[in-house]
Structure 1
């Protein structure tokens, strides 16, 4: 019985550290998602204007 009790006591700080690390990682992920949502990743629209050369057409072109 004392062997079981000592193993539980040793793993308790390790479990608390894992839980703390998990909460820290989850908090960082939520913060990153919040920043991405606020920013939205949107850019202002700008017109696309580019000159295009068209081939010459003859008067008897088939429709």
Structure 2
């Protein structure tokens, strides 16, 4: 079966679009893991900030008691 030039171009365009979708799906497949990693890092930063805040409050209390 021979394809007309227009049909061949159309199939090539469809194939190209499918390849782009495949590439995008492969990239987005890793997003949940990246999101979990970022969430963990944000929790660590939050914990560190709370620790600093607590430390500053303790320093202020000590200074006030002098």
Superposition TM-score, scaled by structure 1 size: 0.60
Q: Deviations over 1:11-63 (max 9, x none)?
A: 011110000000000000110010001110765xxxxxxxxxxxxxxxxxxxx
Corresponding residue for residue 38 of structure 2: 15
Partners of 1:28 and 1:39 in 2: CA distance: 16
Unaligned runs of 5+ in 1: 44-63
Q: Alpha-carbon deviation of 1:3?
A: 1.2
Residue 58 of structure 2: which of 10, 13, 35 is its match?
Answer: 35
Unaligned runs of 5+ in 2: 1-23
In terms of Rg, which structure is larger? 1
